Structure 1
């Protein structure tokens, strides 16, 4: 049973609920009547083709865009986010694809960037201890918090960005393509990080184009197509189902291959 199913069976309340959320840019409808629930301790994968509305939805939840219509509920209460700081204060942290790290600064400086302990005097010792604490919670493989970010691997940089998002004690973390352009080992490292964030009881929304990563980590897969909901699937849904929902076509290379394999299996059974 997925954690989302378990959450519903226990009658637990979702951390975040969207009801009929739409976002228009002039005459262009980027999002139309989006419904979404995120429960504590679950990973929701947000998938869809380019232009499906994934990034617009994430930016809306991050406070960068204001929805044109619809309702956003956080812990059961309707909320209006007037900017990114309001989303952070609420408990929604976002790690965008570019990570927004300063490569010439060390790990500590990047984790506390814009959130230094005091405005007039930085407590370097306390910041370093806090950085190690956050990274240890994630079982991060970073040699030293005084290493500059430019010397870190892609997976280690993602770790720093996730650690920085945890600094504000969020209840939901949104990750935009966290494994993009990473090798196999680094991808596994990042997916392990997501598992640890989930184990802390946080809700995770993850945008990804990699179906293998989605299957490895997600409790539910939410498909967007042309700015609209186009299905919610379990992580073990078939490629045919997911590709059909993403592309809007049930007749595609994946479905035809699955059909050929099924026909071949049938012939083998008949011969036996």
Structure 2
């Protein structure tokens, strides 16, 4: 696959004496959804925090969009500047703030004089909600986020990634604790990201969700990447058996 947007080489992370990530080599490509699979404690959350700039990379190389990143000063702000957006399970939204204010929180649009352009922010927020097909309360840009459903909150966080033209979107358990209808909405949002050419890195324990949207599956166990599979090569049932076998070999 061409158009690589992210590459990790020899990535390591320690927490005290614990070697949390061990020599990680990984690539992600434009328009690809890759699911990170594995048990709790396998290293999935630590890995996405390093990619998102939330944890410091102690050794190894990170390349984003062909640019070698200075890992010793790589932060969340730096990651966003390079087009890396992270959607956490909680959504990272301000509950009492309006939909449009959440979209531009910490990243305001400014006019030619340097002042915050609330009118343009509201215009772009309305266009985005229409594109996401939000309805009812969710279609009101002035509604507080606390009134949105779980699926709409995740959709809003994903929409923020679209708004700021992210090249890589990291999704941490985006369908956890949602109803079946809300899960379907979120999976459709992920498919929209893919259709726009954005790369997605998905953490989920739900194999149905993973198989529905992912093109590739990477299995982690005890801080290492122990196996990799492509959906084009296997059924969902064979993937589940392969996952159990891969984790069993690493035990």
TM-score (normalizing by structure 1): 0.83
Gaps of at least 5 residues in structure 1 are 1-6, 251-272
Aligned partner of residue 101 in structure 2, secondary structure: helix
Structure 1 Cα separation of the partners of residues 126 and 70 of structure 2: 34
Query: Contact between 2:130 and 2:139, CA under 8 Å: does it hold in 1?
Result: no
| Higher-Rg member (1/2) | 1
CA shift, 1:69, in A, is 1.4
Q: 1:233 aligns with which of 229, 233, 242?
A: 229
Q: Alpha-carbon deviations, 1:179-217, whole Å to 9, x = none?
A: 011010000000000000110000000100000000000
- The corresponding residue for 2:100 is 108
- The corresponding residue for 1:245 is 246
Query: Contact between 1:173 and 1:203, CA under 8 Å: does it hold in 2?
Result: yes
CA shift, 1:91, in A, is 1.1
Query: Contact between 1:49 and 1:247, CA under 8 Å: does it hold in 2?
Result: no
Q: Alpha-carbon deviations, 1:18-42, whole Å to 9, x = none?
A: 1121111221111001111111001
2:12 is equivalent to residue 22 of structure 1? yes
2:39 is equivalent to residue 49 of structure 1? yes
2:36 is equivalent to residue 40 of structure 1? no
TM-score (normalizing by structure 2): 0.89
Aligned residue runs from structure 1 range 1-272, under 5 A? 7=1, 12-81=2-71, 82-118=74-110, 121-141=115-135, 142-235=138-231, 236=235, 238=238, 239-248=240-249
The answer to which of 218-227 and 129-138 deviates more is 129-138
Give 4+ residue runs of structure 1 displaced > 3 Å after superposition: 118-122, 136-141, 246-250
Calculate the aligned-residue CA RMSD, in Å.
Answer: 1.9
Aligned partner of residue 15 in structure 1, secondary structure: strand
Structure 1 Cα separation of the partners of residues 37 and 247 of structure 2: 7
Gaps of at least 5 residues in structure 2 are none
